[in-house]
Amino acid sequence: MTASTTALPLPTARFTDLLAAEWIKLRSLRSIHWALGAGALGIIAFNTNAARADYVNFPHYGRVVRTHFLSWALRDAFTQGAAMMLVLAASSIGAISIVGEYTTGLVRTTFAAVPDRRALMTAKVVVVAAVMTVYGAFTAGASFVLTQAVLDGRGQGVSIGHPGALRVVVASALLAPVCALAGLGLGALIRHSATTTVFNVFVLLFLPTFVTDRYHWTACVRNALPFNAWYRLVDVEYGHQPFTLTPRYQTTVTGGWIVFGAWALAAAVVAVVAVDRRDV
């Protein structure tokens, strides 16, 4: 026996080690850099272009539009198209972080190194959520600054201190971690890349437009989806502006935040529990 194999005191298993390891894993994949970088550029460009279009068209807008331009300005701060891109990017990153382990077989190496799978998956959840929150904050913040700077050219830009402006930025930023966790949870359940992508797109992007708000129960389903929750949260003049119809079954801002929180929590629990007992 050499000294190396005698029972040296083993270091205590610390959760922070798992966080650090998951962070190394996330940042050491070049594909993730590309996906995040291209996604951020696309999102910011998309929003800025919407502001540019309003800037160009502003002289042709009628009086009603001009008096209610606040909702226009804040809609440009984070457009629906950009939100869809963010949902796609975030849910893909979340899914990749676990499905990538299963499809490559790395999951066996990972679980052999860390038999405490629940701790490992919790670390993954925390790291993915943290990284995507920063990512969402960056894209939403940059979009807000750029779009309002463009609209300032018409004297219509809004400051972050304006009522509702901060909510638009925060809700758009948090859409990223919510969808990333949803992707992670679905990925942990499904474990196959193509199927996970299809389900992600179906649940996070397709269902929100597909489900009608005509009946009470379908409206409930619709309102419980993250994309619709986001849409409610960024609609600062909900029910007060003349351009859109007020839905029969109304939702509240608080309801929107609750939907965000519930999805994040449920997805995190699924991700942690789903992998614990299954053979790899």
Partner 1 sequence: MPHDALPRDGGPVIEVDRLTKRYGGTTAVRQLSFTVRPGHVTGFLGPNGAGKTTTLRMLLGLVEPTSGAATVDGHTVRRYPRGLRHVGALLDAGDVHGGRSARAHLHALARSNRIPARRVDEVLAEVGLAGAPAGRRVGGYSLGMKQRLGIATALLGDPPVLLFDEPLNGLDPEGVLWVRGLFRRLAGEGRTVFVSSHLMSEMENTADELIVIGRGELIAAESLTEFAARGTRPTVTVRTPDAGTLAAALSAEGAAVAPYDGETLKVTGLSSDRIGEIAFEHSVLLRELTTETASLEAAFMELTADSVEYLAGEPR
**Could you list the residues that contact partner 1 (CB under 8 A)?**
1-2, 4-6, 10-11, 13-14, 17-18, 20-22, 24-25, 28-31, 100-101, 104-116, 119-120, 277, 279-280
Q: 62 or 115: whose CB is closer to partner 1? A: 115
Give me the torsion for CA of 184, 35, 114, 186, rounded to 10°. 10
Helices (H), the chain: 15-27, 30-57, 63-67, 69-77, 80-104, 106-113, 117-152, 165-190, 193-201, 207-210, 216-223, 226-234, 253-274
Residue bearing tokens 């996604």: 39
Q: 28 or 246: whose CB is closer to partner 1? A: 28
How far is the C-alpha of 99 from the C-alpha of 246, rounded, in Å?
40
Q: 35 or 262: whose CB is closer to partner 1? A: 35
Q: 37 or 261: whose CB is closer to partner 1? A: 37
Give the nearest distance from C-beta 113 to partner 1 in angstroms: 5
Give the nearest distance from C-beta 184 to partner 1 in angstroms: 16
Q: CA angle, corner 163, sides to 160 and 69, nearest 5?
A: 90
Give the nearest distance from C-beta 229 to partner 1 in angstroms: 33
How far is the C-alpha of 38 from the C-alpha of 96, rounded, in Å?
16
Residue 260: CA count within 13 A, CB half-sphere: 23
Give the nearest distance from C-beta 173 to partner 1 in angstroms: 27
Phi, psi at 250, each rounded to 5°: -80, 160
Give the nearest distance from C-beta 12 to partner 1 in angstroms: 8
Cβ atoms of 165 and 122 within 8 Å: the answer is no
Q: 29 or 145: whose CB is closer to partner 1? A: 29
Q: 114 or 207: whose CB is closer to partner 1? A: 114
How far is the C-alpha of 165 from the C-alpha of 149, rounded, in Å?
14
Give the nearest distance from C-beta 15 to partner 1 in angstroms: 10
Q: 65 or 273: whose CB is closer to partner 1? A: 273
Give the nearest distance from C-beta 255 to partner 1 in angstroms: 39
One-letter-per-residue 3-state SS of 123-135: HHHHHHHHHHHHH
